[in-house]
Amino acid sequence: MTHARNAVVTPDSDDAPTQGALGDATVSTDNARAAAEDSLEDYAFRYVPRTFRRWSAASVGATALGSIAFLADFSIGASIGIDHGTANAVLGILFASVIILLVGVPVAYYAARYNLDLDLIARGSGFGYYGSIITTVIFAGFTCIFFALEGAIMAQGLQMATGMPLWLGYLVSTVVVIPIVIYGMRALERLQFWTTPLWLALALLPLLWIVVSDPEAVRAFTSFTGDSDGSISFGAVVSSAAVCFALTPQLAEQIDYLRAMPPRTPANARSWWTSFAFAGPGWVVFSGTKQVIGVFLAVYLLVKVEPALGHQATEPVKQFVVMYQTLVPDWLAVVLALVLVVVAQVKINVTNAYSGSLAWSNVFTRVAKHYPGRTIFVLFNLVIAYVLMMLDVFTLISFVLSLYANVVMAWLVTIATDIAINKWLLRISPRFPEFRRGMLHDWNPVGLVSVGLASVLSLLAFAGVFGAAVKPFSVLIAIGVAVVTTPVMALATRGRYYLRRRSDGIDSPRFDDHGNPSGERLRCHVTGYTFERPDMLASAERGPHGEVQYVSSLALTLDDSDHYVLPPEVTGPPHRAAARKRET
């Protein structure tokens, strides 16, 4: 969906400045205008304006839910089920799901309510304008890892059905998503809407048939002990949960859809909240259910079909072929399994590639002060994913995800804690999210120290430095340290590093009467285009008659100087009532 088509930025050739008119030290006008006009950008480093958000809340919610069709859930559930037994695996899945839900509520709410992606939220939630780059790289890595896992599953399906070698299957699964991803949200919305019913039918109907027609399979599932001694162990439960925690960044992919939510008004409040609940933090309910199903399918293969399969029972392709074979001839079972795998892989990997390209372009643009277009980052993301597939990351799924979960939880728990405690309880962090350059300090020690300390301690525990007894609890260390350190650092720094300024120099309000970001448009004197009020600041450069001029956050992102940035203000810890008044 292009910007011009939706009138998000309105070019005015009479007023638009020309290249070089602003001096060598300022932002390249052509670069800023190109970034504004790029139909593939999808607001990689900006607030998503009202004029782009033309979908209903229900439509956005359905699209976001379509992205959780990934098959890695089945494999993760199967893997921890084989390692720890059904009881420990299911309790671990439940434990992880509850924590992920609690983490997801404040973060997803800020995304849906204020139309920001996770990087923009992180900037004002303890990390600073450049500090959030660290968290964005963590997320970009997640998209590559899970693209590789899903691509490997598709390659396994192609190999089983057609004999295609794995390396070629990896390449096919990588290339097939490119035509969809480059067209952004519009293409993704259509894909998710039309393929979700097919996915649900292929995945659930044969499963229900097995459960109803074969009670013995259910009894085998409930009594399965895997490689454990059959007892319920807190260490085994936490070890199972640790693998599941690595899925938490899926929240950021849900947010890449949720940020397109329409303004919340009394007329659409019920639909808005319902869509937010299911497609935002509620995604983990569906994910956890699929993990439990993965345990069931692995047990079914090992107990009812072929006990010698071992960890091959974690492969979703084998799981679904066997499930279909209870209903249809073998050749049709293979065809149906292949269709399911291809549909599921495309549904999730267009999201992985889309979100990854947004993350990488966000990082590059802020560091290099240049926007080369999102397409190059789509390809960059896919190359990394393909290399991971060739390195056979799928066979190391439990280890890789357990390791990655330590850093993931340190990052996301820090952001959630800053929102829930520092913003709402202590009111040290600014209540309303801030993401614009010039309004924020470049670096905020609150989030950086929290993530750094939580990550280091949990990784040391994971490596066994603190002893074998502590190793299974490394992710809990990450969570606990992040929850404690985030408010402690905010109190210790007295909130000095959140805001560089409290006023953006514009008299009109940022929010409308319903608390939604304002749709008022102001002209950016750098690009000559109009942007909506939440995206704008007063410029430090006055007009030819001394009048106030406005500059967009986009132009400031691409500016390699402080030419348009207003001077800092003294920004001590805000008094609760005064801060609330200023921010509204």
Distance, in Å, from the CA atom of 350 to the CA atom of 343, rounded to the nearest integer, reads 11
pTM, 2 dp = 0.84
Question: What does the pLDDT read at residue 58?
Answer: 87
In a domain, 565, yes or no: no
Backbone conformation region of residue 9, classed left if phi is above 0, alpha if psi is from -120 to 50, else beta: beta
Mean pLDDT of 204-225: 86
Alpha-carbon separation of residue 283 from 20, 37, 117, 344 (angstroms): 48, 33, 17, 16
Question: What does the pLDDT read at residue 576?
Answer: 46
The type of residue at 39 is S
In a domain, 568, yes or no: no
| Helix, strand or coil, per DSSP, at residue 433 | coil
Question: What does the pLDDT read at residue 289?
Answer: 92
DSSP-derived letter for residue 517 is: B
Condensed to tens digits (0 to 9), the pLDDT of residues 229-281 reads 878 889 899 989 988 888 888 888 888 889 989 999 999 999 999 999 988 89
Mean pLDDT of the chain: 83
22: pLDDT strictly greater than 60: no
Sorting pLDDT into bands at 50, 70 and 90, what band is 37? low
14: pLDDT strictly greater than 80: no
- The DSSP result for 102-125, as a single string, is HHHHHHHHHHHHHT--HHHHHIII
Domains: count for the chain: 1
Condensed to tens digits (0 to 9), the pLDDT of residues 410-429 reads 999 999 999 999 999 999 99
Distance, in Å, from the CA atom of 444 to the CA atom of 129, rounded to the nearest integer, reads 8
Distance, in Å, from the CA atom of 185 to the CA atom of 210, rounded to the nearest integer, reads 37
Question: What does the pLDDT read at residue 580?
Answer: 43
Residue 537 pairs in a beta bridge with 551
Sorting pLDDT into bands at 50, 70 and 90, what band is 10? very low
Mean pLDDT of 79-99: 93
394: pLDDT strictly greater than 80: no
In a domain, 271, yes or no: yes
Residue 97: CATH number of its domain:
1.10.4160.10
Mean pLDDT of 14-23: 37
40: pLDDT strictly greater than 70: no
CA dihedral 489, 494, 499, 504 (to 10 degrees): 160
511 φ, ψ (degrees, to nearest 5): -130, 150
Condensed to tens digits (0 to 9), the pLDDT of residues 288-342 reads 999 999 999 889 888 877 777 777 788 888 888 888 888 888 888 888 888 888 8
Mean pLDDT lowest for which of 41-45, 69-73, 446-450?
41-45
In a domain, 51, yes or no: no
Distance, in Å, from the CA atom of 385 to the CA atom of 374, rounded to the nearest integer, reads 17
Distance, in Å, from the CA atom of 483 to the CA atom of 250, rounded to the nearest integer, reads 20
Sorting pLDDT into bands at 50, 70 and 90, what band is 186? low
How many residues comprise the chain?
584
**Domain boundaries, position 187:** 66-493
Listed in sequence order, the residues at least 6 apart from 316 whose beta carbon sits closer than 8 Å to its beta carbon are 71, 74, 75, 153, 156, 294, 297, 341
In a domain, 529, yes or no: no
573: pLDDT strictly greater than 60: no
- Give yes or no for a contact between 237 and 95, defined as CB atoms under 8 angstroms apart: yes
Q: Which residue has the higher pLDDT, 44 or 358?
A: 358
Mean pLDDT of 467-496: 94
Distance, in Å, from the CA atom of 503 to the CA atom of 433, rounded to the nearest integer, reads 14
DSSP-derived letter for residue 437 is: B
The rounded Cα 307 to chain-centroid distance in angstroms is 38
Listed in sequence order, the residues at least 6 apart from 415 whose beta carbon sits closer than 8 Å to its beta carbon are 107, 118, 121, 122, 125, 126, 135, 447
- Stretch (H or E) spanning 95: helix 72-114
**Token pair of 225 as six digits:** 């002990």
Alpha-carbon separation of residue 188 from 35, 178, 185, 349 (angstroms): 21, 12, 5, 11
In a domain, 580, yes or no: no
Question: What does the pLDDT read at residue 189?
Answer: 61
| Helix, strand or coil, per DSSP, at residue 495 | coil
Distance, in Å, from the CA atom of 553 to the CA atom of 540, rounded to the nearest integer, reads 13
- Give yes or no for a contact between 473 and 406, defined as CB atoms under 8 angstroms apart: no
**Taking CA 75 as the corner, what is the angle to CA 70 and CA 80, rounded to the nearest 5 degrees?**
135
- The DSSP result for 161-229, as a single string, is HH---HHHHHHHHHHTTHHHHTTHHHHHHHHHHHHHHHHHHHHHHHHHHHHHH-HHHHHHHHH--TTS-
Rg (CA), the chain: 25
**Taking CA 275 as the corner, what is the angle to CA 274 and CA 281, rounded to the nearest 5 degrees?**
95
The type of residue at 67 is S
- Give yes or no for a contact between 290 and 73, defined as CB atoms under 8 angstroms apart: yes
Listed in sequence order, the residues at least 6 apart from 422 whose beta carbon sits closer than 8 Å to its beta carbon are 125, 126, 428, 429, 446, 486, 487, 490, 495
Sorting pLDDT into bands at 50, 70 and 90, what band is 184? low
Question: What does the pLDDT read at residue 7?
Answer: 34
94: pLDDT strictly greater than 90: yes
- Stretch (H or E) spanning 322: helix 316-325
Burial of 216 (0-12, 13-18, 19+ CB in 10 A): exposed
In a domain, 157, yes or no: yes
In a domain, 58, yes or no: no
- Give yes or no for a contact between 286 and 203, defined as CB atoms under 8 angstroms apart: no
Question: What does the pLDDT read at residue 29?
Answer: 56
Alpha-carbon separation of residue 239 from 47, 75, 312, 468 (angstroms): 38, 16, 20, 13
